[in-house]
Amino acid sequence: MPVPAVRRLLVNERRVFGRLKNTFPAPPLTEIQTESYKRFLQLDVPAEERQDIGLESVLRETWLNFVKMFEREHLVIGGKSMGGRIASLIADEAKVAGLVCLGYPFHPAGKPDRLRVEHLRTIQTPTLILQGTRDSFGNRDEVAGYRLSPSIRVHWLDDGNHDFTPRKASGRTEQQNWNEGIAAVTGFVNGC
């Protein structure tokens, strides 16, 4: 049988912390966090000179360890958005048979001047990128101007956004885009 807890609050004295004379200055926590985040992002460092730290480092290491568990001769890796980007960064090193990226983030949304394509210029792994023609991370017009490796094939999903969803006015459905995308991935994987 459970015993009920009995609590007594004994108040023998009153403390007023506002009258303390020995105080210490509060550190500028917001400034510390902001500077820490800037160091993590390395925005002022060219992409090819950035250190391998933070989340990207952890994801790269995780991918490489995962790939080691499989026979790579027929292994195709990939992911959606950042997952595809990380897979693309390790594909050559991992010596996999192929790479599939769904909605590749060629640049941050609304920042087409901050490209994430340097390694895509020289990647040797056969690569399929499924991309919506209206993707805010790289649409058809923007991507057409990038110099990408000949091993990359971009398959465009009509009127799709980053999630491949078309506008209702386009006459297409999300299911149509996914069916088309699945067929493209199946054909690609079967050829690897």
Taken in order of first residue, the domains within the chain and their CATH numbers are 59-190 (3.40.50.1820)
Helix (H, G, I), strand (E, B) or coil at 102: strand
Sheet containing 98-102: which strands, arranged edge to edge?
76-80, 98-102, 127-132, 152-157
Span 123-178, pLDDT tens digits: 999 999 999 999 999 999 999 999 999 999 999 999 999 999 999 999 999 999 99
Span 47-105, pLDDT tens digits: 667 777 777 788 888 888 888 888 888 999 999 999 999 999 999 999 999 999 999 99
More reliable by pLDDT, 38 or 110 = 110
Helix-then-strand count for the chain, H and E: 5, 4
From the number of C-beta atoms within 10 Å of its C-beta (0-12, 13-18, 19+), residue 192 rates as: middle
16 pLDDT higher than 90: no
Span 20-58, pLDDT tens digits: 677 667 778 888 888 877 777 777 777 667 777 777 788
Contacts of 152 (CB under 8 A, 6+ apart): 120, 123, 127, 128, 129
